[in-house]
Amino acid sequence: MNAVGGIVDASQDGLTIIVEVADGRVCAARISSTRRTDLSRLFVGRPADEAPLLAERIFALCGAAHRVVAARAIASARGEPVPAQRNRSDAIALAAERLGASLRSNMILALQRESKSADLELVRPLGELLSLLRDLCAQSFARAPGAAEAARLLIVRIRASGHALGLAAEGAEPAYPLAFRQLEKEFAASEPLAITAPDSLGDADDLEIMQRARAAGASFAVAPSLEGRAPETGAFARRWAETDFSKGALAARFQARMIDIAECLSELEGAERDFPAACHAFSPALREGFAAAETSRGRLCHWVRLSVDGRIADHQIVAPTEWNFHPTGPFIETLLGASMSRGCAERRIVQLASLFDPCAPFRVEVREHGHA
């Protein structure tokens, strides 16, 4: 068997996941990448104030998060405090983008199913909700008079749209849209992939990440690692303790994403309250700043060093995909030794990769062991 699958064609830059199967089990797996991981060099030499908007444009898939995290890293390097109102608007933008990205990823998974009748019925209302979330991100960054009220009205509409779709707020009994319930049932009924508690990244890891990014530069950003660990980041890393492991990795990871979606909706519904810090940020040295925030795909980190005249002297970005799809990382660990029948191996691996949710296109090749 030599199958190719995924969410894009093989001509696009991204990840290639090559899996070898023998006697119904995965005996080897590797990842090759052609995706650009050197784009942080585009920031060097530019005025620091240009970096947040440039980051948003370059990394459009999680543009709001890149904008916020870059701005916080620069503010830390300058020793500038972040006003409470700015923190609140940034937190709203992050929650809106995280919610939208998670819903979009679920919809892609649903549309890959053979039976799509319920899924197609979800496309229009979900598209309208995603449009509202994009507008909310834009309003959160606006500084014009009336922007805060416009954001409040958008949140009211988002809350109504979310509940109409069956997206329960955190703490309520889950009530997914039909297409998502069907996905959950499919994952629960499939051959269970082994699952264990992840080695989750968090605030406590940021100092070491910063030190390694500063010392190794782009080589660390391409394949980040922490000694003796295989860290994971993303919805499952955040919410794993609330999930049911008994039905295997696919079901638990999907459940974690749905819990995360409910949390984001809950955060937006309580937008009038004070938010915790949108980013974990600090200054390790004069004119240096580091910031990290949680996105739908996981922890996003920026480290910057400013020159005396306020330009970007160095800038490193460590993205979630490089942790989760590291050559010895959690995605590969989940695959190795997994039971995979010939007929469903390609589909299951595509679903697993989609639940890890790389911020790059990917393709999957499944081969019989020993295939030349």
Q: Where are the domains of the chain?
A: 38-318
Predicted local confidence at residue 143, as pLDDT:
83
For every residue of 193-256, DSSP letters joined together read PP-----B--GGGHHHHHHHHHHHTHHHHHS---TT---B-SHHHHHGGGS-GGG-HHHHHHHH
Q: Which residues pair with 301 in a beta bridge?
A: 292, 318
Question: SS3 helix, strand, coil % of the chain, rounded to 5?
Answer: 50, 15, 35
Where does the pLDDT of residue 353 fall: very low under 50, low under 70, confident under 90, or very high at 90 and above? very high
Average pLDDT, the chain: 88
Superfamily name with CATH number, domain 38-318: Cytochrome-c3 Hydrogenase, chain B (1.10.645.10)
**What gap in Å lies between CA 74 and CA 79, rounded to an integer?**
9
**What gap in Å lies between CA 310 and CA 339, rounded to an integer?**
55
Strand, coil or helix: 21: strand
Strand, coil or helix: 177: coil
Where does the pLDDT of residue 168 fall: very low under 50, low under 70, confident under 90, or very high at 90 and above? low
Of 166-175, 184-193, 235-244, 307-316, the one with minimum mean pLDDT is: 166-175
Predicted local confidence at residue 148, as pLDDT:
86
Where does the pLDDT of residue 343 fall: very low under 50, low under 70, confident under 90, or very high at 90 and above? confident
Please give the annotated binding residues, written as ranges. Answer: 317, 359
Listed in sequence order, the residues at least 6 apart from 3 whose beta carbon sits closer than 8 Å to its beta carbon are: 345, 346, 364, 365, 366
- Structure confidence by residue, pLDDT tens digits, 200-238: 999 999 999 999 999 998 899 999 999 999 999 999 999
Q: How far apart are the first and last CA of the chain?
A: 11
Strand, coil or helix: 144: coil
Query: Do the Cβ atoms of 338 and 71 come closer than 8 Å?
Result: no
Predicted local confidence at residue 174, as pLDDT:
54
Predicted local confidence at residue 90, as pLDDT:
94
Where does the pLDDT of residue 115 fall: very low under 50, low under 70, confident under 90, or very high at 90 and above? low
Strand, coil or helix: 6: strand
* pLDDT(282) > 90: yes
- Angle at the Cα of 267 from the Cα atoms of 265 and 272, rounded to 5 degrees: 125
Please give the annotated binding residues for Ni(2+), written as ranges. Answer: 359
Backbone φ and ψ of 237, nearest 5°: -65, -30
Could you tell me the pTM of the whole model? 0.92
Please give the annotated binding residues for Mg(2+), written as ranges. Answer: 317
Which tokens is 338 given?
């997994």
Classify residue 39 as exposed, middle or buried by CB count within 10 Å of its CB (0-12, 13-18, 19+).
Answer: middle
